[in-house]
Structure 1
Amino acid sequence: MFLISSFIVFAVFFVNVALGALADSAFLGDVGEMLVLFAASVLFVVAILKKEADRSNKDDN
């Protein structure tokens, strides 16, 4: 769930950067880009930590 969300948010960031570079029509400003990239990073870290916790619990049993 968190990993898919991370990829979706990163795709929004990528589309914004690509539109800004190719068509000069980015829909997010600098602060918006920063917040979207930060959200993608946080979601990715949460997904990895959750997966690691699940793996650790499985190894303990």
Structure 2
Amino acid sequence: MVWKVIGIVVVGIIAIWLIGAVIKLVLPLVVIAAIGTGVYLLYKAVAGSNGAKAPLDQ
């Protein structure tokens, strides 16, 4: 019974460690994607405000 508890604790610690490593790897990509999306949407909003077509729409 003691070994089961120790095993569960060890598996839990490894799972938390792996999740932390994945988040550490993916977080910069998510931030870069969010900034890129914001810049693109801002460009589309500004380019479409004067009635002219954006270069990407031509």
TM-score by length of 2: 0.51
Per-residue CA distance 1:25-57 (angstroms, 9 max, x = gap)? 133554x43331000000000110000000011
Q: Which has the higher contact order (CA 8 A, sep 6+)?
A: 1
- Structure with higher Rg: it is 2
Indicate the residue corresponding to 1:36 in structure 2: 26
Dislocated runs of 4+, deviation >6 Å = none
Q: Which runs of 5+ in 1 are unaligned?
A: 1-22
Count residues in correspondence.
Answer: 38
Q: Which runs of 5+ in 2 are unaligned?
A: 1-11, 52-58
1:56 maps onto 2:29 in alignment = no
Counterpart CA distance in 1 for 2:20 and 2:45 is: 39
Counting aligned pairs with the same residue, the percent is 11
